[in-house]
A and B are shown apart, each in its own frame.
Chain A
Amino acid sequence: MVKFIESELVQLKKEVDEMWTLVYNQLDRASEAVLTLNKELAQQVIVREKRVNAFELKIDSDVEDIIALYNPVAVDLRFVLAMLKINTDLERLGDFAEGIARFVVKCNEPALDPELLKELRLEEMFAQVLSMLETAKKALNEESLELSTSVFAKDNLVDEINSEVSVKLADYITKNPESMLLCLNLISVFRKLERSGDHINNLAEEIVFYIDAKVLKHQGKTDEGYLSQI
């Protein structure tokens, strides 16, 4: 490939990298905002969401230009297509961070019951989601299939925590009926984190597609089958 086209791909990768960092920071701040019920921090996340959206539009436009002007094929085409889909997934993660921040802003409680949060394992779930996002980013930068596929297993913990939330919150509401509205709103935070895990799974699948030309989408449990082949 001619060098100046190569530089376009490098630039695209750089933009995706920047967006990735931005979205990671958004989720990280949203996490802190929820756990400490820090409305100021939450407001920052909401304001910064505009940057995530602007990044998405820029990357979409750049991908369109690269495909139209340079006709990438083989690994370069897979790279560009992967960046396009990663872009969409990152933007959704940004939306989830904003949604979580909005929960904080709207929350009328002075603080969340720390025992409840511990019971629900919210901090653990946040940490796992952030770890998945960081691992996926590293997988892309190092072009590592091993790191990419390690993300799938991490999502199991996210799903496990989420699956227990409804029952635990129902039990809490029974004992603390005045907290019903809070708990119902809190469920949305867990749903967003669970969806975040799914989207980060998508990121990992796109990275595998880019590196190995393997489509893992809709494979479900057979993701682990692929893992055993690496």
Chain B
Amino acid sequence: MNKIDVKDVNFYYGDFHALKGVSMQIKEKSVVAFIGPSGCGKSTFLRLFNRMNDLIPNTRMEGQILIDNEDIYAKGVPVDELRKNVGMVFQRPNPFPKTIFENVAYGLRVNGIKDNEFIRHRVEETLKGAALWDEVKDKLKESAFALSGGQQQRLCIARAMAVSPSILLMDEPASALDPISTAKVEELIHELKKDYTIVIVTHNMQQAARVSDKTAYFYLGEMIEFDETKKIFTNPAQISTQNYITGRFG
């Protein structure tokens, strides 16, 4: 079943045509990676799935994006609910200036959950899900800033998971991390795809090859090729894709 259905999307920053006629279907509980040179539109495209581009002035989108068959740009769509369902993790870990516990609990509290026992249970559940529980269980009341970069990023993933999204968007989630932390985040993505649909933007082609089921290659606002990751990295259909992944270009 298609979790996300993108139909002929064009996106503009003012007069600049940033995304050109992009269509794709993303299956439920799969990992899709977006690759391409800087400025090709992959992060812009990613942000369309939770309407983060709405926060940027003088932008407009044409086309349709359906999540669970519902048009997320239809009039009256509650954007806050959308962003609960479509969580996001950014390049630089951005924990709140709160305790480890409160970072994860915050999303639940602002959504009106007052049952402390439920909150405690959910915090533990998502920290375990983010493969962080064992490292932080004895210091939940410490500041999140006391954690390492890799731990902070996994905390941000747990924070996104706490409000039970069905989709996780990750914009270069490991590019600011050391290799060991990167490996932990990649292992986490591999585990999480059993329960979530994950879309990841990455400059690291080897990372895209390692973690994703399908890969989309973008160039100058166009989606050049979208296929099984194995196919993209063994025998891409487009010469442009091949030139990029072999390093002949980009």
Given contacts A71-B206, A71-B209, contact A2 B233 (CB under 8 A): no
Chain A residues lying within 8 Å of B206, measured Cβ to Cβ, are 70-71
Query: What's the nearest-Cβ distance from chain A to residue B75, in Å?
Result: 43
If over half of B's interface residues share one DSSP class (helix, strand or loop), that class is named, otherwise mixed; here it is helix
Q: What is the total number of residues of chain A having a CB less than 8 Å from a CB of chain B?
A: 11
Q: B202 → chain A, closest Cβ, in Å? A: 14
Known pairs A68-B234, A71-B206, A71-B209; A2 contacts B229 (CB<8 A): no
Contacts of A2 in B (CB 8 A): 183, 186-187, 190, 210
- Minimum CB–CB distance for B154 against chain A, Å: 14
Instruction: Determine the residue in chain B with the shortest Cβ distance to A4.
Output: B190
**Chain A residues positioned under 8 Å from B209 (CB to CB):** 68-71
Chain B: interface size category: 10 to 19
Say whether B137 faces chain A, with CB atoms less than 8 Å apart: no
Q: Mark A31-71, 1 if CB is under 8 A from B, else 0.
A: 00000000000000000000000000000000011001111
Distance, CA A59 to CA B233, complexed state (A): 17
- The A/B interface has a contact count, at CB < 8 Å, of 28
Contact of B233 among A3, A4, A5, A69 (CB under 8 A): A69
Q: Which of B183, B229, B234 contacts A64 (CB 8 A)?
A: B234
Chain A residues with CB under 8 Å of chain B are 1-5, 64-65, 68-71
24 CB < 8 A contacts A-B: A1-B183, A2-B186, A2-B187, A2-B190, A2-B210, A3-B187, A3-B190, A4-B187, A4-B190, A64-B234, A65-B230, A65-B234, A68-B209, A68-B233, A68-B234, A69-B209, A69-B210, A69-B229, A69-B230, A69-B233, A70-B206, A70-B210, A71-B206, A71-B209
Given contacts A3-B190, A70-B209, 13 further A-B contacts (CB under 8 A): A2-B183, A2-B186, A2-B187, A3-B187, A4-B190, A5-B210, A64-B234, A68-B230, A68-B234, A69-B209, A69-B210, A70-B206, A71-B209
